[in-house]
Every structure is written in structure tokens, then in C-alpha cells.
Structure 1
Amino acid sequence: MDQNYEKQPFYQLLRSTRFPKAAMAAGLSGFLITTLVSLAIPLLTRNLVDGFSVASLSTPLIAGIAAAFLLQAVISGLSSFLLSYSGQKVVAELRGRMWRKLLRLPVSHFDNEPSGGTVSRIVNDTGIVRELISDHVPQFVSGIISIIGAVTLLLIMDWKMTLVMLISVPVTVLIMIPLGKRMAKISRGMQDETAAFSGSIQQTISEIRLMKASNAEADEEKKGLGGIGRLMQFGLREAKIISVIGPLMNLVLMAVIVCIIVYGGIRVSSGSMSTGTLVAFLLYLFQIIMPVTSFAMFFTQLQKAKGATERIAHILGLEPEPGQTGGSADIGGKAVTLDRVSFSYSAEEPVLQEISFTANPGEMIAFAGPSGGGKSTLFSLLERFYEPDSGMILVGDVPISELSLESWRRRIGYVAQDSSMMSGTIRDNLLYGMDSTGRPDDGKLWAAAEMAYAAGFIRDFPDGLDTEIGERGIKLSGGQRQRIAIARAFLRDPLILMMDEATASLDSHSEAMVQEALSRLMEGRTTFAIAHRLSTIVDADKIVFIEEGRVTGIGKHKELLKTHPVYRRYAEQQLV
């Protein structure tokens, strides 16, 4: 963890962005101008009331007043836009930095972090920061200016009346501080609950077929309604505080207005104060009370923004995958060696222990053994989703940890049992992950599809390569998804091929076509294959039998039949 980020207060985090200082300064300056203009309005009102006569009204005076109000409206609108622009720019940069960081975090981070919570950090938490910058900071600044200016002018006009009016300020502050703290606590709780609820909803929708096939509607309904209920409780607690703040502030405001009117009326009747001055006092009262009421929301939003930026800073401070930089993977004609590799997800549960073998160029290395033995974890280490706890994986005599991740993974083609597809078109999935420059043209796409026995069904679609396949490729059959994955591997032209029981879930017709496509793909490439069915690996150059995280046998099919009792039992069960 980068401790500089973890300890960074939210305002320093904002300063670390490319903050549009000119736009922010212009926006705040505009608010300053409009606030100063609004401070002059009560004085103008006083003069109009005290010296009002029909004869005093003239076209230039009316035009001047109208122009002043129009100019104020234009400046206010422009200032609001500039401040909103500043907020959007800051949030866009924060979201961009978070997204770039998330894409480069190790797989282990996502093993422990709910996806909904991560989405909430990028969308909701950054939105809170935007609201603070665009809405609440300008209101706070203009409110401070308005209060200082109004109080100064009132003291000059009549200090006795001002003291009577200022009694409301400490009363308001005493009311707002505890309520504001309570509101901040509730808001933080709502943020966390929103993140948890988003994650739960996202998971349920993404696995909608599993949910329906399992008749789990009632369970998911209960979980969802529970989250909705908890969000409602936070909302009601927030509403209670707001319902207290509003009436209390109205009560204080009305009490002060009554006091000012009564005291001012006495002063006006005695001749020690003019009617215009009393009207000005009332107008200035609103300019003081209204900002004070908004301060509670500002400090609440400030607390929410602090909590949000703590979570943003936490993500930005996470260490990326090791190996983002390094040498290029020139692995052509070189063996891949695992030298006493051990790995565990936690210290209490070792998964792989002292794994050693060598894959020579062009060989097919198959992994067999009981489920849970560590075969898939071994693939994850070869893909560098995780780093070994001890031992090394080498290509030639160079540890793959010294090669850049991009360069290493570009040399690997992966075909899984249930090949993953991205939402979009067939073309998008064939080209997924390839550089935008030098991408293969349609001729090469069709050639790869032919090699993978995928061209036939692609042509049957009305839109061909531009056919939308739905989320996770749901509109395609398992065999079609596998053949698109194989075509994608052909386009990548990898030196190392990894297959995780690529035909296990297919019907016999699809399996035959996919197996033929895989045979084409394997030609001339170093291949690692996980197999639960021994019939798919009997011709492998080397079979590595793994039990409980340890290699218990290495050899060809016939060799293991003679020397490995467990393998022989597997073969007798499956190959008879």
C-alpha cells in the first residue's frame, strides 16, 4: 500500500489532480460579484422607501436597475457553469485514475473485493466530490461573504439593531452543529450500504440464469428487500434530521423577524429609525440567516466527501500487478521451466508445493489429477495472475517475473472450458485486446474463423461479424463461443497455448469440431492442457499428474500406466 495516498487528506488529493484553477477562480469571482451586488440591494431599497415619489422614478433609473439585475443573472449563470465544469473535470480525472489503477491491480484484489463496491467507489464516491466542488463550496463561499458584508453594513447603519439580530446566529449554530454531525454519520452509513446493495444486485442480475434454475427467486427477493429496507432506514433517519432542521430554522427566523419588526417599529414610531432602514434590516436578515442554514449541509457534504476520498485514496494507493515493466518476452524456441514452485492463497492452506517440470518448445504438457489438486492454480501462475511464494518459472534461463506482463501475456493464447465473451459483436470479441494500430483486416478475421471452424455459423447470421452476441456471449452456443475463442487465439498467433478442458462441456458434434480446431491451433506451439478426461491427452508429450498440490508422476501415457497406480486407475475407469 502506498502510504502517501492512504494518509492524504481529501483536499490534497484534489490538488493532485489537474484542477482547472482558472475556471474555478472565475466562477468564484462571479459569485463574489453577485454577492456584493446583492448586498447593495437592501441599501438601494432603503433609499427608495425613504425617498420614494412618483417623480423620482425615471426611465434611466428603471433601465439601470433592470440592467443591473440582468447582468447579475448572467454572471450568476456563467459562474454556476464554470464551477460545474470544474467539478466535472476533477471527477473525470479521479475516475480516470481509479479506472486505470483498477485495470492494473492483481487478480487477488478482485478475489476479495465485491465488484459492486468497486463500481460504487468509481461512480457514487466521485459524484459526492463533484457535488461538493460544484454546489456546496460556492454556496459556502458566497454565504461567508454575504454574512460578513451584511453584518458590516448593519453595524454601520445601526449597531443596536444589529446586536438584536445577531442573537439568532449563535442559536442557529448551536442547533446546526450537532444535527450536522449526526447527518454526516448517517450519510457515511448510507454510502456503505449503497455500495453493498449495488454489489448484491449486480451479482444477482449477472447470474440470473443460475438464480432461476435454482428456484432462488424467494431467497434473492428476501436479500434484495433487506437491502432496500436498510437503505430506506438510512433515508428515514436522514429525513428526520432534515424535518427537524427546517422547522427549527423557520422558528428562529420568524422569532428574529418578529423581534426586529417590534423593536424596529418602536424605533420608527419614535423617529430614531426610518422605515427604509427597517426594511433594509429585514432584507439583510435574510442574507444572514439563509447562508447559515446552508452551512449545515455544507459540513455534512464535507464529511461525506472526506469519507469518499478516503476510499478513493485507498484504491489509488494499492500496488499494481508486479511486472508492469520489464524486458520483452522473446520466448521463441525456448523451454518453459517450473523450478520448485510453491503457492498458497493463505498461509494456512498451501495449494502447490515444490512443482517442477520442463516444457520444451512445441511440446504438449497435460495436467491430470483429482479435482482441487491445483491444476487451475498452476495455470494462474503461468498467466501471472499470481506470483509464486517460492521457486521460479523461467523461459529459457530468464525468470518470467523479469519480463513485462504485456509482453509475456501477448505470447499466450488461452482457451477455457467456458470461454469468456465480452458484450458486443463477434468482430469485437475476435479483436479484443489487440492494438488499435495494425489490427487484422476482415480477410484475416475470416481466415482465422475458417481455421477454427467458425466461419460457417458466423455467415449464417444476418449481420455476420457484426452480430451482437449479448452479455457474456449468451446468444451463442457453447460450441460457438469455443470456436470464436479459438479463432481469437489464431489471430494472436501465440507461442504458448493454454487449454483448460476446452471441450468438456460440449456435445459430441461440437466437441469433434472444436477438437479439430484445437489440433490445428496446437501445431508448432508449446501447449499446456488441463484434462479431466484422459482421452483428450493420451497423445501428450508429457503428462504431469498432480495430487494435493504435489507432482506425483511425470511421463507419457503408457509410462504412467506402468508406474503410477492412481493414473492407471483413472485410465481403467475412463478409457475402457
Structure 2
Amino acid sequence: MAHPQWRYLGTGLILGIVGVVGNLVTPVFASQIISTFKDGLNKQLITVALALFIGAAIVTSVGNFLLGVAGEQIVQNLRKTLWDKLVVLKVKYFDEVKSGEMISRLVNDTSQVKNLVANSFPNFITGIIQLLGAVILMFIVDWHMALLILIAIPLAAATMAIPMIWGCKIGRATQDGIAEFSGQSTDTLSEIRLVKSSGSEKQELERGHHQITHLFKLGRREAIIDGVSQPLMTMVMMGVFMIIIAFGAYRISQGDMTTGKLIAFMMYLFQMLPPVATIATFATTLAKTQGATERIGDILDEAGEDLQAGDIIDVTGKILSMKHVTFGYKDDEPILYDISFEAKPNTVIAFAGPSGGGKSTILGLLERFYMPNAGEFKIGDINVDQISLASWRNQIGFVSQDSPIMAGSIRDNLTYGLVATYTDNQLWEVLALAYAKTFVSEMKDGLDTEVGERGVKISGGQRQRLAIARAFLRDPKILMLDEATASLDSESESMVQHALEKLMQNRTTLVIAHRLSTIVTADNIYFIEQGTVTGSGTHQELLKSHALYAKYVSEQVVTS
């Protein structure tokens, strides 16, 4: 899944091993230099020892560089794989998972995997080799002292076992806590205007402080373990160090060992310290990475949309219909029951009814964000699920009550998702059709004006008109309008309504109605209550046959 560059990874590991071997051989020459010191300095031995020492450092540095490159390649490939998956995941997944958590998977968890594969694991391998090599050479130098160390190392490892186990558990809990905090903070900051307008600063502060405190407590536990582990390891190793010196001094006094061999022994002992630390922390890193890979795996196991699977069908002139459709976001909790309707080409179909009745959910089904649990959804005689998603959505235009605007320029937003290249004249034409040309031309940068994140630099009415201009540019066969004028002031509403009337011409239009004028002129109206159609017909027909519809009309308001 990460597709690492094995050439860099393998070469870096091999060079790291070569560097370790060079470091292991160096004490042999140091021992000989000290043993022959009484006969004068052996310049040849000193030169070889220095060459080995410097060469090992250079080779290790190159190996670390190659491992670093391989690590960046791993995280790049892993993030691309995750991004490719996230973009095509079904809308249902985004309904259930916070965006901050997904970002944490994309950034933090992938970095954790890179750290293991490119850093911790190679260091663990070279550490094992360095540790074993040092022990073997110690036996060659003096097996009595080597046996003493061989007994001391398991005792030292046993001393470190409990902090290591605790560290594994806390490390994983910390990763989960970071993901949860990332999700909550992203949600809060992305809707900061809602927070401020609702006077919810105190509530969000308390919630944020609670999660930060939770992370602090986890971090404090990690600090305790790290604080205990390092001094404990130092104490154990210094104890071993003192025992070795004392035992070595005794053997020298007895004539069983030379000073040069003791120096070599001490050099090997020092070489054992970094590998012991690396091995001790590897388990914690591995536990963190296991949690990260499980979360990444959960995303990759999710079913995504196949945008190209299915036939490419031109929907022009075909009847759009649903028959006896039942749907629920959860299989055992349906919210639409036995929905049936028909939309003929070049007609306007309106959905009206109380708020929460399921009108917007019907449009979600039409967009194929979700598929019905039961019933038929067809265009002409073809089941919609037989048509490729890309082909289907390319023929649909959607303008909602809060039409989304991406960060970027007006030009970027008009052409968003469109493959073709458009001239400035074409863009100005659709802006004129959407009654947006005037305000865009008055902006300093015109089409290149930046709209800000989610379009915060322009008004709601301007965002709506840009969304309508984008729909004009797409030239959709099927147009869907979801309360497109509901939240606008009267002046903006009038402009947007005129633009929508132009946009609706010669298209199959499905609209969730807010304005009475839209309902009156619709070819057919479906009244939705509690997830089911309780009446359908023209405006005049429903006035006579549907009491609640007549009440809505009398109040001049249709809500959704």
C-alpha cells in the first residue's frame, strides 16, 4: 500500500549494517594500539583505526540519508493511497466520521508508519546486529567478562519490561486522543461563525480544555514512563559498567587480561548502550504504529464509489422515476417509505411538505449519494445503478440553499469539476445569465477575485448566483434545486429567482419549493409527510384534495 522504494530502503539498511561492522572492528585496533604502546606509537594501526572510525561515520550518514528518502517516499505513497480512497468514499462515511479524524489519519498516522519503517525498524535491525556483534567480539576478547555481561543484559532487559509494556498502551491511547482532539477542533474552527453567533465560546472552550487536559494526562503518563525508563536504564548500565571495570581490574591484576583488552571491552560496552535504548523504545513505537495502521486499514477497507463502472447514457428525453422506494441511513431505521414519482423531460417537479419529511433525502438519492434499500430508481427503462456515476453526475446540476463554494478564485469556482477549458467571454456570459456579472465586474480582480474559505468574502446572495452560473456552465440535463432562495434577503431572492427561472428552461427540474410561485407553476407537486407521499398533482388539484397543502398555500409559506 505504501510502495516503498526498496532500492533506497535496502541500500540504506545495508550501509547502516556496514557502518555498524566498522564500529565493531574499531575497538580491536584500539586494543592493539594500547597493547603495543610501550614499543612506541604504531602509526599504521592508528591510521587504520581512524579510517575505520571516519569511514563508518560517513557510511552510516549516507545510509541514514537513503533511509530518510525512502521514508518520505513511503509517507508520500501512503498519503496518496489514503487521499485517493477518501475522495471516492461514499457520502455515508462522511456522515459518520469527523473530518478532523480523517485528517489525523492522513497526516499523523501516515507519519507514524513512516517513522517505524524508515527509522525505528532499521535502527532496531542495526541495533540488534551491533548488540550481538559486540557480545560475540567480547567473547573473543575475554569470555569470562563476556559471560558476566551476558548475565547482566537479561537482568537489565527484565528491569525495563514493565515500563515498556506501559509505554505501548499509553502510546496507542495518545494516538487515539490526538485523532479525537483533531476532529473536534477542526469542526469548531471550521464553524467559528456559528460558535460566535450562538455565544458558544464558553462551551467550546470547556470542551477543548477537557480534551487538551485528557491529552495532557496521557502525555504526563508518557513523561513518567520516559522519566523512569531513561534513568533506570542509565542506572542499570552504569551498574554493569562499574562491575565490568572492577572485574576487569581484578583480571589485569591477576595477569589474565591486558589493559588494551579492557579498553576494547569498555568500547564494546559503550557501543551496546544505544542499541539497548533503541530496542527498549522499539516496542512502544511498534504499538503506536499498529494502532495507526489499523485506523488506516479501516479507511482502506471502506467501500468506495467506482465512478467509471457502468454504462455511459445520455439522459436527454428520458423519464426519471422512482417506484416504491424505501430508504434509511440505517437499514433498520427507514426514513422514506414507498416513495413513487415521475419527472418527464422539460417539466418542473416540486416537492413540498413539512420540515424533516425527507425531501432533501430524495435529492440525495437522485444524486446517488445513497442508494435505495428497496424499490426502483430508473431513467427511462434503465436502472440508474447501471449508469456510471461520472456519466450520471456530469448530467446533473445542483443548487442548494447553502451552495458550497471552494476556497480559490471566482474563475476556479465556476469551472470546478469541469474538464473543458472556458474562455473569459464564456464565463462572463454565464455570470450575466445568473445576474452575477455586475458584482463580479465591480471587484478589483474580476474573475480572479479570491472568495475565501467556503466563500466567506462574498455575500450569501452572491454565492447563490455564482452557484447558478456554475450550473449554467455545466448545462445539465437534470436540474435539482433545494430551497435555493430560502435564506436570502428580498433583493437577492428576486435576482436568484429570475436566474433560476432562466436555468430551469428546457431541463427536467426537481425542486424543493419555498416560494409559492415555484409551486404554482410546477407541472406536478408531490407532498411529502413523514417520509411518504400523501398527495400529488398540480397546484389546483392539491388545493382541492389535500387539506394540509391548502393550509400551506393559505399561509404563503412552504417550509422544508
Letter in 2 for 1:105: L
1:323–1:402 Cα contact (<8 Å) kept: no
| Matching residue of 2:13 | 28
2:67–2:118 Cα contact (<8 Å) kept: yes
| Matching residue of 1:481 | 463
Residue by residue over 1:49-93, the C-alpha shift from the partner in whole angstroms, topping out at 9 and shown as x without a partner, is 1112695354x6665554443332322121111111222222222
Letter in 2 for 1:379: L
| Matching residue of 1:353 | 337
| Higher mean displacement: 228-237 or 554-563 | 554-563
Are positions 1:424 and 2:397 aligned together? Answer: no
- Aligned pair in 2 of structure 1 residues 196, 430: CA closer, same or farther (>3 Å)? same
Are positions 1:212 and 2:212 aligned together? Answer: no
2:2–2:75 Cα contact (<8 Å) kept: no
Which residues of 2 match residues 365-404 of structure 1 at below 5 A?
A: 365-404=349-388
| Matching residue of 1:12 | none
**What CA distance in whole angstroms lies between the structure 2 residues aligned with 1:444 and 1:61?**
80
Normalising by structure 1, report the TM-score. 0.94
Residue by residue over 1:264-312, the C-alpha shift from the partner in whole angstroms, topping out at 9 and shown as x without a partner, is 1111122221111111111111222331222121111111111111111
- Aligned pair in 2 of structure 1 residues 249, 474: CA closer, same or farther (>3 Å)? same
Residue 177 of structure 1 and its aligned partner are, at CA, apart by 2.3
1:374–1:546 Cα contact (<8 Å) kept: yes
- Aligned pair in 2 of structure 1 residues 21, 348: CA closer, same or farther (>3 Å)? closer
SS of match in other structure, 2:402: coil
Structure 1 residues not aligned, in runs of 5+: 1-15
Letter in 2 for 1:494: P
SS of match in other structure, 1:552: strand
Are positions 1:40 and 2:20 aligned together? Answer: no
Residue by residue over 1:393-427, the C-alpha shift from the partner in whole angstroms, topping out at 9 and shown as x without a partner, is 11110011110111101100000011111111111
Which residues of 2 match residues 408-557 of structure 1 at below 5 A?
A: 408-435=392-419, 438-557=420-539
| Matching residue of 1:298 | 282
Which residues of 2 match residues 227-242 of structure 1 at below 5 A?
A: 227-242=211-226
**What CA distance in whole angstroms lies between the structure 2 residues aligned with 1:352 and 1:323?**
26
Residue by residue over 1:373-402, the C-alpha shift from the partner in whole angstroms, topping out at 9 and shown as x without a partner, is 110010001001111111111111001111
Are positions 1:73 and 2:57 aligned together? Answer: yes
**What CA distance in whole angstroms lies between the structure 1 residues aligned with 2:271 and 2:331?**
63
For residue 287 of structure 1, the aligned residue among 253, 271, 282 is: 271
| Matching residue of 1:49 | 34
1:323–1:403 Cα contact (<8 Å) kept: no
**What CA distance in whole angstroms lies between the structure 2 residues aligned with 1:54 and 1:533?**
106
2:177–2:215 Cα contact (<8 Å) kept: yes
SS of match in other structure, 1:108: helix
SS of match in other structure, 2:521: coil
1:328–1:404 Cα contact (<8 Å) kept: yes
| Matching residue of 1:259 | 243
- Aligned pair in 2 of structure 1 residues 68, 153: CA closer, same or farther (>3 Å)? closer
Residue 536 of structure 1 and its aligned partner are, at CA, apart by 2.8
Residue by residue over 1:156-200, the C-alpha shift from the partner in whole angstroms, topping out at 9 and shown as x without a partner, is 111001111222211121022222111010011001111110111
2:90–2:369 Cα contact (<8 Å) kept: yes
SS of match in other structure, 2:329: strand
For residue 106 of structure 1, the aligned residue among 90, 93, 103 is: 90
**What CA distance in whole angstroms lies between the structure 1 residues aligned with 2:361 and 2:39?**
91
**What CA distance in whole angstroms lies between the structure 1 residues aligned with 2:369 and 2:526?**
21
For residue 161 of structure 1, the aligned residue among 145, 148, 168 is: 145
| Matching residue of 1:340 | 324
1:98–1:316 Cα contact (<8 Å) kept: yes
**What CA distance in whole angstroms lies between the structure 2 residues aligned with 1:513 and 1:147?**
77
| Matching residue of 2:556 | 574
**What CA distance in whole angstroms lies between the structure 1 residues aligned with 2:47 and 2:149?**
34
Letter in 2 for 1:37: G
- Aligned pair in 2 of structure 1 residues 475, 54: CA closer, same or farther (>3 Å)? farther
Aligned length: 558
SS of match in other structure, 1:356: strand
Residue by residue over 1:459-517, the C-alpha shift from the partner in whole angstroms, topping out at 9 and shown as x without a partner, is 11111111111110011101100010011001111000000111111111111111111
1:340–1:354 Cα contact (<8 Å) kept: yes
**What CA distance in whole angstroms lies between the structure 1 residues aligned with 2:60 and 2:557?**
81
Normalising by structure 2, report the TM-score. 0.97
1:172–1:292 Cα contact (<8 Å) kept: no
Structure 2 residues not aligned, in runs of 5+: none
1:24–1:86 Cα contact (<8 Å) kept: yes
| Higher mean displacement: 340-349 or 519-528 | 340-349
**What CA distance in whole angstroms lies between the structure 2 residues aligned with 1:411 and 1:419?**
18
**What CA distance in whole angstroms lies between the structure 2 residues aligned with 1:45 and 1:392?**
84
